[in-house]
Amino acid sequence: MNKSIFILAILMSWAGLDYAQSFTEKINKSYSFEKKGSQNAILVYNISGDVEIEGTPGDQIVLEVTKTIRAKTDARLAVGKEDIQLGVIDLADTLIFYVKGTGSEFRKHDTEKGKTKRYGWGYQWDKQRDGHDLEFDYTMDFKIKIPMDLQVSASTVNDGDVMVFNTRGQVRAHNVNGDIRLKEIAGGTTAHTINGNVDIDYSKNPSADCRYYTLNGNIRVNFPSVVSGRMSFKSFNGDLYTNIDPLTPMPAVVNKKETEKGIKYKIESERYQIRSGGPMFDVETFNGDAYIKELVNK
């Protein structure tokens, strides 16, 4: 499987070498919430490019998007310039930023079909553009300054990282081909990537449950003070390294499933108690190690 992915990456890089035309545009906008409250949230759904979000003491959302289009001809470049646009949905207490013109419909998913993820919004990937898939390439790099207490959900797919700095609310960060970097955050956290590292530095230990996942990469989480709670660790080809002590083993989670050959038992993860009380820290890799540290003198 890794060999196939590597070959595909080479072919994709060759395909992009002949782009002779390019166009770059800066999009600058500012927003405020019509309905202010503790549930205010910003949701960013990128496809190609970085997402960088920084918390500030102000009450405005200040958005800068760098839009770059690359194509082999002027005609194809013009199609990309026209098609790829910033999409904005204002729900009074929530702001959603996404990319228009990708050939995939962006909408709220039908919860009855189990498609609700990341607040229920996303791209309808089975509705693709007809004939324009290979006419141009694009990136949309998001830089957003927000009030630091907002709830944040940020994602991208290719050619970018997801970065969140200096926030106090809940953070959900998703990527496919890139890293996740969360610095000086304090809220409950979900960090999930496929091909990339997860690096997190907390300014304050979170009081809500957290989940950290990467398929191919390492996980590094630093807590500023002594942690209490529970931790689970699961990896196919990686190890857990930590300076947390005491770390008391708990009974493993065992799934039971009836099969034609009989009852199948599967141990899901290692579980540990960290002192007493506190949230769950769920750590999972496939190919990679996890480094969980308390940054305190012992």
| Mean pLDDT value of segment 258-264 | 80
Flag the least confident range among 1-5, 126-130, 238-242, 274-278. Answer: 1-5
SS3 58: coil
The percent of residues in the chain predicted with pLDDT above 90, rounded, is 73
| Mean pLDDT value of segment 142-148 | 98
**φ/ψ bin of 293: left (φ > 0), alpha (ψ from -120 to 50), beta (otherwise):** beta
Residue 298: which of 246, 229, 241 has the closest Cα? 246
Instruction: Say if residue 126's pLDDT is above 70.
Output: no
Q: What is the pLDDT of residue 296?
A: 86
Q: What is the pLDDT of residue 134?
A: 63
Pairing outcome for strands 198-202 and 280-287: unpaired
Q: What is the pLDDT of residue 259?
A: 83
Instruction: Say if residue 151's pLDDT is above 80.
Output: yes
Flag the least confident range among 50-54, 106-110, 171-175, 246-250. Answer: 106-110
| Mean pLDDT value of segment 244-259 | 85
Output the CA–CA distances (angstroms, integers) from residue 124 to 71, 105, 106, 170, 212, in the order listed: 25, 5, 6, 26, 26
Q: What is the pLDDT of residue 103?
A: 83
Instruction: Say if residue 273's pLDDT is above 60.
Output: yes
| Mean pLDDT value of segment 134-146 | 94
Higher pLDDT, 104 or 84: 84
Residue with tokens 């070498």: 17
Instruction: Say if residue 167's pLDDT is above 50.
Output: yes
Q: What is the pLDDT of residue 40?
A: 97
Cα separation, 160 vs 174, in Å, equals 11
Q: Looking at the DSSP assignment, which residues form a beta bridge with residue 248?
A: 273
Instruction: Say if residue 37's pLDDT is above 50.
Output: yes
Residue 168: which of 51, 38, 281 has the closest Cα? 38
Cα separation, 123 vs 102, in Å, equals 9
Cα separation, 292 vs 74, in Å, equals 50
Flag the least confident range among 128-132, 152-156, 211-215. Answer: 128-132
* pLDDT tier at 10, thresholds 50, 70, 90: very low
Q: What is the pTM of this model?
A: 0.87
Cα separation, 197 vs 182, in Å, equals 11
Higher pLDDT, 3 or 252: 252
The percent of residues in the chain predicted with pLDDT above 70, rounded, is 87
Determine contact, residues 170/152, Cβ cutoff 8 Å.
yes
Cα separation, 133 vs 145, in Å, equals 32
Q: What is the pLDDT of residue 11?
A: 44
Residue 89: Cβ-neighbour burial (10 angstroms; 0-12, 13-18, 19+)? middle
- In 148-228, beta strands by DSSP E: 151-155, 162-167, 171-174, 180-185, 189-195, 198-202, 210-216, 219-223
Number of H helices, E strands in the chain: 2, 23
DSSP state of 80: H
Residue 146: which of 287, 30, 273 has the closest Cα? 30
Flag the least confident range among 59-68, 183-192, 260-269. Answer: 260-269
Output the CA–CA distances (angstroms, integers) from residue 24 to 20, 75, 146, 243, in the order listed: 14, 16, 24, 47
